[in-house]
């Protein structure tokens, strides 16, 4: 459970953490139950992995809050967020909405800048492709909070795995979120994994700086003679453990693709070797 912090805690969001910790899911997937105080209906964001105990925990939280589930939303289509979609949909009869129509149940896909309103609980949809093509964030204006899915995690940087993950769109999405955070009052991030982030703007700035630095590093090792994906992986990441090897390769491919798209011929060549 994510501990609330007095004065800054979201009033309208409860986290139910799935018991699926791993190198990729950190301490587990966060399922968020969103509700307007005293409302009769709520929203569930990211049902989580295919795990009956987790679905039961989410439904118990919904009951504690005293609501019925009116809508199920997805931040993106990865299995650790969507494995429980059909179980939760079957139990609640609530429609499911995502940016990818393939994940929708009984309704239409989410649109960028769309406003969602369930019994006065207002959310704004922000398309933030990059981690996946279908990634979205949900702004909860009355709590000054942003549900970020895997676009921004509670700690560390999220995986951009080629080909669904793309670095160019990811940087654009982070910049959009950065401008959004800078334009408003303080923004609390409610991520898909890890703890909530109280200060959104500096966290986004740190992530952006990290990404730019990584791209510079990749560009440097290409200049220094790395000519294949494996050589770039070794030079930038050392020897990732077996659990991470595949995803680090996909991440380096995403970095190379981005550098190639900005005119780096060495990156274009290394990408396919």
Alpha carbons 146 and 91: distance in angstroms, whole number: 27
- Which residue number, 160 or 222, has a Cβ lying nearer to Zn ion? 160
Alpha carbons 130 and 53: distance in angstroms, whole number: 31
**Least gap, CB of 181 to Zn ion (angstroms):** 21
Question: How many residues form the binding site for Zn ion (CB under 5 A)?
Answer: 3
- Which residue number, 150 or 195, has a Cβ lying nearer to Zn ion? 150
Site string for Zn ion, 74-93 (x = CB under 5 A): ------x-------------
**Least gap, CB of 162 to Zn ion (angstroms):** 17
- Which residue number, 151 or 255, has a Cβ lying nearer to Zn ion? 151
**Least gap, CB of 220 to Zn ion (angstroms):** 30
- Which residue number, 161 or 221, has a Cβ lying nearer to Zn ion? 161
- Which residue number, 159 or 249, has a Cβ lying nearer to Zn ion? 159
Q: Which stretch binds Zn ion (CB under 5 A): 14-22, 83-91, 125-133, 143-151?
A: 143-151
Site string for Zn ion, 183-202 (x = CB under 5 A): ---------x----------
**Least gap, CB of 167 to Zn ion (angstroms):** 18
CA atoms within 13 A on the CB side of 225: 0
Site string for Zn ion, 147-166 (x = CB under 5 A): ---x----------------
**Least gap, CB of 232 to Zn ion (angstroms):** 25
- Which residue number, 36 or 80, has a Cβ lying nearer to Zn ion? 80
Q: Which stretch binds Zn ion (CB under 5 A): 61-69, 83-91, 116-124, 144-152?
A: 144-152
Q: Which stretch binds Zn ion (CB under 5 A): 56-64, 94-102, 112-120, 146-154?
A: 146-154
| Of 89, 57, 96, 91, the residue nearest 73 (C-alpha) | 96
- Which residue number, 80 or 164, has a Cβ lying nearer to Zn ion? 80
**Least gap, CB of 15 to Zn ion (angstroms):** 14
**Least gap, CB of 160 to Zn ion (angstroms):** 13
| Of 33, 36, 31, the residue nearest 120 (C-alpha) | 36
Q: What is the 3-state secondary structure (H, E, C) of the chain?
A: CCCCCCCCCCCCEEEEECCCCECCCECCEEEEEEECCCCCEEEEECCCCCCHHHHHHHHHHHHHHCCEEEEEECCCCCHHHHCCHHHHHHHHCCCEECCCHHHCECCCCCCCCCEEEECCEEEEEEECCCCCCCCEEEEEHHHCEEEEECCCCCCCCCCCCCCCCCHHHHHHHHHHHHHHHHHCCCCEEEECECCCECCHHHHHHHHHHHHHHHHHHHHHHHHCCCCCHHHHHHHHHCCCCHHHHHHHHHHHHHHHHHHHHCCCHHHHHHHCC
Q: Which residues bind Zn ion (CB under 5 A)?
A: 80, 150, 192
């Amino acid at each position: 459970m994510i501990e609330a912090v007095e004065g800054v805690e979201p009033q309208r969001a409860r986290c139910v953490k799935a018991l699926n910790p791993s190198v990729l899911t950190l301490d587990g997937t966060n399922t968020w139950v969103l509700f307007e105080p005293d409302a009769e209906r709520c929203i569930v964001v990211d049902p989580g992995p295919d795990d009956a105990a987790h679905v039961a925990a989410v439904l118990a939280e919904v009951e504690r809050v005293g609501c019925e589930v009116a809508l199920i939303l997805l931040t993106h289509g990865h299995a650790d967020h969507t494995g429980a979609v059909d179980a939760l949909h079957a139990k609640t009869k609530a429609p499911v909405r995502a940016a990818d129509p393939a994940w929708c149940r009984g309704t239409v896909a989410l649109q960028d800048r769309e406003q969602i309103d369930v019994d006065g609980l207002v959310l704004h949809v922000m398309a933030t492709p990059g981690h996946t093509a279908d990634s979205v964030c949900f702004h909860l204006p009355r709590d000054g909070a942003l549900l970020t899915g895997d676009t921004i995690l509670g700690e560390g940087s999220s995986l951009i795995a080629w080909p669904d993950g793309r670095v160019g769109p990811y940087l654009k999405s982070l910049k959009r979120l950065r401008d959004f955070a800078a334009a408003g009052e303080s923004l609390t991030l409610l991520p898909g994994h890890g703890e909530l982030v109280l200060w959104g703007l500096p966290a986004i700035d740190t992530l952006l700086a990290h990404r730019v630095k990584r791209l510079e590093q990749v560009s440097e090792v290409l200049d220094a003679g790395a000519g294949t994906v494996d050589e770039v992986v070794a030079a930038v990441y050392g020897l990732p453990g077996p659990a991470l090897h595949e995803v680090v390769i996909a991440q380096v491919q995403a970095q190379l693709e981005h550098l190639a798209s900005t005119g780096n011929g060495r990156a274009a060549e290394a990408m396919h070797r």
